[in-house]
């Protein structure tokens, strides 16, 4: 498997998690293994921030990463991330709005997933918020939210069932950074700030916008947006507001629906510190994308 050189500058690659989470149903196991190896090789050659895969591919990608760095010993080592509590397939947006299932995985299962990923060599975790659990907590918090001080908001968040769930993840992960995928398309706009506070009070590393796993017919009135500048700016503003209560800020990972280098730069300007995409080469080359995909 070759290590391909990036045809143009790699500046934006330095903040990209080169991501492989979906593939065609008829792909052979051998071809899928080769694709994961190529993703790792490309991430090293292009000097990406990280590679993000499903948990069952961590061990394979760890080996591929070690081998790639033997061939390019001066290249920086990308982070090796995997998703946790991630939907197995894409889901209709309308269905998830009415009855969310994203992140609806038994806590024991997701904790075991974290522990296995760590054993396999993962260095970062991208974990999906249990959306239904959070929305239940938010329904109880929302009526009083605006009247609470920042300290009061953080205390209230820490008492939620969602915080207890995330605390178990944090205990299992130890010092390994967790990026919390909050699926912003399923959140009331006013809950975005609260999710920033939740991420910070639970001592997680990063808040992340989307799984990229929501779908809708082109004619549907409601379309999932994924990463949008307004949401990133809202998150960045909330981090700044809560920061006096903490020693360090959290990161913001924009993912889902990034279609052009210009959009990627706008997301970074708005406050994103990491980008997640499977279209890394196109973004590096400055190509605009018209086809759907993560």
- Which residues on neighbouring strands pair with residue 277, listed in sequence order? 18
Active site residue 208: yes
Active site residue 120: no
Cα(258)–Cα(287) distance, integer angstroms: 11
**Catalytic member of 42, 170, 185, 253:** 253
Cα(259)–Cα(236) distance, integer angstroms: 21
Would the CA dihedral through 269, 49, 85, 248 be positive or negative? negative
Active site residue 175: no
Tokens of 179: 């990026």
**Catalytic member of 126, 137, 170, 185:** 126
Candidates 134, 150, 146, 252; CA nearest to 201 is 150
Name the CA radius of gyration of the chain, rounded. Answer: 19
Residue with tokens 């299992």: 172
Q: Is 273 exposed, middle or buried (0-12, 13-18, 19+ CB in 10 A)?
A: middle
Tell me the pairing of strands 16-20 and 50-53. parallel
Stretch (H or E) spanning 255? strand 251-255
Residue with tokens 């993840």: 169
Looking at the annotation, which residues are catalytic? 126, 208, 253
């Amino acid at each position: 498997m070759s290590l391909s050189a990036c045809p143009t500058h790699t500046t934006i690659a330095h903040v990209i998690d080169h991501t492989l989470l979906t593939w065609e149903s008829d792909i052979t196991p051998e071809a899928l293994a080769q694709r994961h190896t190529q993703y790792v090789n490309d991430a090293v050659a292009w000097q990406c921030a990280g590679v993000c895969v499903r948990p069952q591919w961590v061990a394979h990608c760890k080996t591929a990463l070690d081998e790639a760095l033997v061939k390019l010993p001066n290249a920086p080592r990308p982070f090796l991330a995997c998703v946790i509590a991630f939907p197995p397939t894409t889901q209709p947006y309308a269905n998830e709005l009415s009855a969310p299932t994203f992140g609806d995985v038994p806590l024991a299962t997701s904790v075991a997933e974290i522990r296995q990923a760590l054993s396999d060599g993962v260095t970062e975790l991208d974990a999906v918020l249990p959306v239904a659990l959070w929305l239940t907590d938010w329904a109880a918090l929302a009526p009083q939210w605006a009247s609470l001080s920042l300290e009061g908001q953080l205390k209230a968040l820490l008492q939620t069932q969602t915080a207890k769930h995330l605390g178990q993840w944090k205990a299992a992960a130890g010092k390994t950074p967790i990026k919390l995928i909050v699926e912003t398309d399923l959140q009331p706009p006013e809950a975005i700030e609260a999710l920033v506070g939740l991420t910070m009070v639970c001592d997680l590393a990063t808040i992340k916008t989307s799984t990229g796993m929501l779908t809708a017919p082109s004619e549907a009135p409601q379309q999932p947006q994924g990463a949008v500048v307004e949401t990133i700016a809202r998150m960045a503003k909330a981090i700044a507001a809560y920061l006096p209560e903490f020693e360090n800020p959290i990161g913001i990972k924009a993912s889902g629906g990034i279609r052009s280098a210009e959009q990627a730069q706008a997301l970074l300007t708005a406050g994103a510190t990491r980008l997640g995409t499977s279209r890394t080469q196109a973004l590096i080359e400055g190509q605009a994308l018209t086809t759907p995909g993560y």
